[in-house]
Structure 1
């Protein structure tokens, strides 16, 4: 069966809607008998794609927890692990749905030695390609609706049995008699009753599994074409965010005075003098760091004006009551690496106990498309007010993606303040406001047509 490339209409999306690379990931389902080579086919696809945003989601993680009585039966090799009811298919459906929406998910970990789930989980977030691998990957209609490519690995059952016996004895510590009992009592009958009919749901049937080099190569080339098309769409979305909003005239400057949620540091003579020092390429690194951190302290104090406050009455040292304000929501920071790290000393000088998370977003050297490489956020970040810091915003792509990540972790736009020293007004700021009109922005200096990043290079001396 011929494989066709994806077709997505940009016209069906909102004008300024931003879709990160992990929104609507390409989901591949690979089914087949136990021992057919499903995992090997999935691993070969991942190896050939050679991108770190591809994950294998194994059905083996979704066995239902067993009661003590059921575990006794399992240890006697008499529990049917190969029937559909042994798996929590509803959980697989929920996790796939959340991944499809670009959300973070926690995958359970099942121990075959204990015949039960363990407390640890595996976090998946930001995947561009997801391979669902398991005997029932093509069984449930709800899963089939979410799969972009459906593969059935068709391998001779005698070969499957030999592979299954080897795995059960070597990897799962079972004896030959118990493994044979499982195969003939449960594995083979369930395959013939439930799994084999799902071959009809497949887009592609791969006979002989990994030995079928031609079929595997065809699948890999199809997925590669899909990723190229998806990357092109993502870049189109980013490009559209640079278009003017409905109340702007093309090729005119963005009027920041119209945006109450944008704060620009007052350009006093002292501040302008510090700008001059920072922009002077002859400035030593020591002087650059000193004046940058001094200026960033002023910028962070400006950003703190966007934090929510509430009324509070206190008793003064003289016994009088004073009605004032206090911060009503805990403040944390998230640094867009590596330039955001320039803010950390200034942040801690003003907020000594502040928790600082980190994001590493880098662009593909071939396409310019930004990708998430590293993520560590403060706990319960959805309950906090976030200062998202980056030393410089040239195109706005990293900031837009970072904001999307925070929103995916249940943070509200109003609880984010993007803090940057230098920003391109008509590109970066325009894009950010177009994508997230409720976001708060605190910027030290706005310029037109910023061509290169230089703040972190000067700050770190590299």
Structure 2
């Protein structure tokens, strides 16, 4: 599945006046997405740095062209391009008047907000979401609009003075200088400014001679000595290929594959000791019910029964969990609902009905972890005062991990009617089951850092097995500056092994609210039918192996009697391969409920 460029980047308007396309830096600042984004963090939950490329050079030397060509050559999931032009300092009315009369110097380092640029690159390098300013060349001014960027594994920053600042150079993993003849740059500048920015030739030449050329000779050209690679401003195919291949090698070396390790995350020593006691299943179950788990205060730990115990247990047979996990009290009602959901013979209609009931109980419990404050109200009829509680936050939202997490959405809306909702599309690869981030749709309160730091987020997913999707979703929230303690992960069922322990170690302040826990986690491969386009692709690949098609043509002097039978057998085998169902690696919770999303949506 491929992403559109708008999936991980979008612009946020704030009542800006109408403007002509192509006259702002918004078209230069983007995230190009080609496929899902693999984990960009380690088992400790900390992100791996994005690879940052700096592209410097004179005005109209071809910096933007080189950056875009490198972007096109890189076959990596997400690449961001940021233009230094976006960081021109705002002009006051007097300065703006001088700019329109060609009396303002835009070709000096002082014209740029270098501190804001460096902070932006630091945030992108650390995988955080940023809002990049948008500059209007026609208005000689920033506009009331920003460009939201998130999700880049490679960041390309291009501009006149990208290599001039020592602090900025330290942030760059690869430094490129684009070199072009001065006559060529002047010709390009005249063509660009007359066609795209509505300026007259006389003013362009005057500005060039007064500001641009001296800046090039005295300030920009000397920065070439800091470059790792000097690229010509034209006919640079070889140089672009070299850059692309170098970056690919660097990214391959940083690749993270975590799912198998997440599934094997051990319990704490204390929990292992508790789980290894000789207590019978009945003893553990009795202890669990007698303790009336409310999830509000418990000793840090987990539980995991032996495989033999897991075979006869329901999902509440563990009596020890990490401190960050809050399990609903195992009331007879809840046990009855979960039993129906575990039952493979439950009809589709009944499964939906009882799942909705469990989700409602679960969301009401999860909402208790949001901040509340005291409030006094006047009682109807009696006029007496009653002291109670009211939700104490203006920014609360749910983020659904599509698509299984959406089974919780209706319950969330009923619990908090004014809830703002967003979603993440996280899917597993067929080969090794690693999670990939395909789409990010967040409310404005999370995309703006000023409000994200005070936002509370309910992350919704149906199950936690290895915790790979949950791990990625929490990392996305942290990348948007949502505090750990403001995140509540809500799920119907989890495995006592692996995932919840990995989450608790990496994100100890994130609360996890569960309806039930099953004892086992098993790696397996499942079969499912190919889609139509996948059948076509497989057919073409297999026919390509046979050369000219399903059957090769024989020459007149070739004896085809013996070969014909072999050819038919080979063709039949290829047809079987094309029609064969695909297989996919998954980690199944045992005993488990199967795929809650598939059962709920009857797919």
Same fold (TM over 0.5): yes
Decide whether the 8 Å contact of 1:362 with 1:373 is kept in 2.
no
Which position in structure 2 is the counterpart of 1:243? 265
Match of 2:315 in 1: none
Structure 1 alignment gaps of length 5 or more: 1-13
Q: Within the alignment, does 1:71 sit opposite 2:86 as a pair?
A: no
Say whether 1:39 aligns with 2:58. no
In structure 2, the CA distance between the partners of 1:328 and 1:212, relative to structure 1 (3 Å rule), is closer
Aligned to 1:4: none
Gap change, CA 1:241 and 1:275, over 3 Å in 2: closer
Q: How does 1:51-450 map to 2 (within 5 A)?
A: 51-206=76-231, 208-232=232-256, 235=257, 239=261, 242-244=264-266, 247=269, 254-255=302-303, 257=320, 259-316=322-379, 317-329=381-393, 331-363=396-428, 368-371=434-437, 373-377=439-443, 379=445, 380-447=451-518, 448-449=520-521
Which runs of no fewer than 5 residues in structure 2 stay unpaired? 1-40, 276-301, 304-318, 446-450, 523-586, 589-593
Encode CA deviations 1:359-401: one digit per residue, 9 max, x unaligned: 2334455672533621313523433433211112222122122
Deviations 1:34-75 (A, max 9, x none): 222111111111112244521111011111222223223322
Q: Retained in 2: the 8 A contact 1:80–1:86?
A: yes
Cα distance in 2 for residues equivalent to 1:393 and 1:296: 15
* Shift, 1:183, TM fit: 2.2
How far did 1:135 drift? Answer: 1.4
Bigger shift: residues 452-461 or 361-370: 361-370
Alpha-carbon displacement from aligned partner over 1:377-427 (angstroms, at most 9, x marks no partner): 352343343321111222212212222232333333222211001222212
Secondary structure of 2:459 counterpart: strand
CA contact (8 A) 2:73 2:241 kept: no
**Distance across 2 between alignment mates of 1:43 and 1:283:** 55
**Stretch moving more, 349-358 or 309-318:** 309-318
Q: 1:66 to 1:415 in 2, by over 3 A?
A: closer
Three-state SS of the structure 2 residue aligned to 1:126 is coil
State the structure with more CA Rg: 2
Structure 1 residues 370 and 250, CA, compared in 2 at 3 Å: closer, same or farther?
farther
What SS does the corresponding residue of 2:163 show, helix, strand or coil?
coil
1:297–1:203 CA distance, 2 compared to 1 (3 A):
same
- Could you say what secondary structure the match of 2:190 adopts? helix
Relative to structure 1, the CA distance from residue 365 to residue 373 in structure 2 (aligned partners, 3 Å threshold; closer, same or farther) is farther
> Is this contact kept in 2: 1:263–1:302, CA < 8 A?
no
- C-alpha spacing 1:391/1:48, structure 2 compared with 1 (3 Å): same
For the residues of structure 2 that align with 1:149 and 1:322, how far apart are their CA atoms? 65
TM-score when scaled to structure 1?
Answer: 0.87
For the residue of structure 1 that corresponds to 2:368, the secondary structure is helix
Which has the higher mean CA deviation after the structures are superposed, 114-123 or 321-330? 321-330
Bigger mean CA offset, 96-105 vs 423-432: 96-105
Q: Return the TM-score normalized by structure 2.
A: 0.68
Number of the residue aligned with 1:456:
597
SS in 2 for 1:457: helix
Q: 1:181 to 1:321 in 2, by over 3 A?
A: closer
**2-side partners of 1:33 and 1:384: how far apart?**
43
Task: Quote the Cα distance in structure 2 between the aligned partners of 1:83 and 1:167.
Answer: 20
User: Could you say if the C-alpha distance between residues 144 and 264 of structure 1 is closer, same or farther in structure 2, counting changes exceeding 3 Å?
Assistant: same
User: Post-superposition shift, 1:306?
Assistant: 2.5
Residues 74, 115 of structure 1: 8 Å contact kept:
yes
1: distance between equivalents of 2:221 and 2:362? 64
Q: Which deviates the most, 364-373 or 391-400? A: 364-373
